[in-house]
Amino acid sequence: MNSLPTLYTERLIIRPISLLDADDMYEYAKTPLVGPTAGWAPHTSIQETISIIKAMMTIKTPYELGVWAIVLKTNNKMIGTIELYNYYYHFKAELGYSVNPSYWGKGYATEAAQTVIAYGFEFLNLKRIEVGTFIDNFQSQRVCEKLGFIKEGIARNGYVRYDGKIFDKLIFGMTNKEYAQIYKKERMNIV
C-alpha cells in the first residue's frame, strides 16, 4: 500500500497525518489524559511532537499502513489520530485511536473508527480487526462496544507501557462476517 486515502464522514475528514498537525497534536498529547491510557508518554515539547509525526509518516515495515489525522470539517482542526497497525495483507489489523480530551463525549472516535473499519473490511479485504485496551480504559472500551466489537478476553501481561510497567490487555475483535451483519453496505467517500 503506497499511501493512505482521505476518508470523509458527516463531521470529519480523516486524512494522512502531516507536520502541519503538530500544534494541534501537541495540545492534547502533552496532557496526562491521553498518552498513558494508550501506552505512550505525554509529549514534553512541540519538537518531540514533530519528531513523532515524522516517525508516523515513515513506513518502516510492511505491517504499517500509516496514521490518519482526525480533522473537524467545521474549522479544519486536527483533534486526534487513528490507524490500522500490525497489518497482515488480506487477513487482519489492529485499530488504534486517540482524541483530544476537549472533544471527548461527542462521538468523534466512534465516527472516525466506523469509517476506518469500513475501509479495512471493504477495501483491504481484512478478515479481522481487533482492538486492545488497558483494563481500566473504560472510555476506549465503550467506543469498542458502540462499534460492535465483541469482548474476547484478557491477554495477561499483554502490554508493556512506555515506562516499562506491564499491564493486562482487554481484547476486542470483529470479523468480516460480523462487520457485514452490523454495518449497512454503503459506498464510502474516499479520495
* Phi/psi of residue 83, nearest 5 degrees: -155, 160
Give the whole-angstrom CA distance, residue 73 versus residue 126. 28
Beta-bridge mates of residue 70: 14, 80
pLDDT tens for the chain, 191 residues long, are 448 999 999 999 999 999 999 999 999 999 999 998 888 999 999 999 999 999 999 877 878 899 999 999 999 999 999 999 999 888 999 999 999 999 999 999 999 999 999 999 999 999 999 999 999 999 999 999 999 999 999 999 999 889 999 999 999 999 999 999 987 655 455 55
Task: Give the residue from 111, 110, 108, 148 showing the smallest Cα distance to 129.
Answer: 148
Q: Judge whether 137 lies within some domain.
A: no
- DSSP for residue 122: H
* 152, 173 Cβ separation under 8 angstroms: yes
**Cα(130)–Cα(179) distance, integer angstroms:** 12
Distance separating alpha carbons of residues 117 and 65, to the nearest angstrom? 14
Tell whether 188 is covered by a domain. Answer: no
Alpha helices in the chain (DSSP H): 22-29, 35-38, 46-57, 108-122, 138-147, 176-182
Q: What is the pLDDT of residue 90?
A: 84
- CATH code of 19's domain: 3.40.630.30
Output the CA torsion sign for 16, 22, 24, 29: positive
pTM of the prediction? 0.91
Domain assignment present for residue 22? The answer is yes
- Evaluate whether residue 169 is within a structural domain: no
Q: What pLDDT digit, counting tens, does each position of 28-49 carry?
A: 999 999 998 888 999 999 999 9
pLDDT tens, 64-73?
Answer: 899 999 999 9
Q: Is residue 31 part of a domain?
A: yes
pLDDT at position 89 is 84
Question: Is the residue at 26 inside a domain?
Answer: yes
Q: Is 60 inside a domain boundary?
A: yes
Count of structural domains, the chain: 1
Contacts of 3 by beta carbon, 8 Å cutoff, 6+ apart: 16, 66
Q: What is the DSSP letter of 136?
A: T
- Asked whether residue 174 is assigned to any structural domain, the reply reads no
Instruction: Provide the residue range defining the domain that includes 89.
Output: 7-129
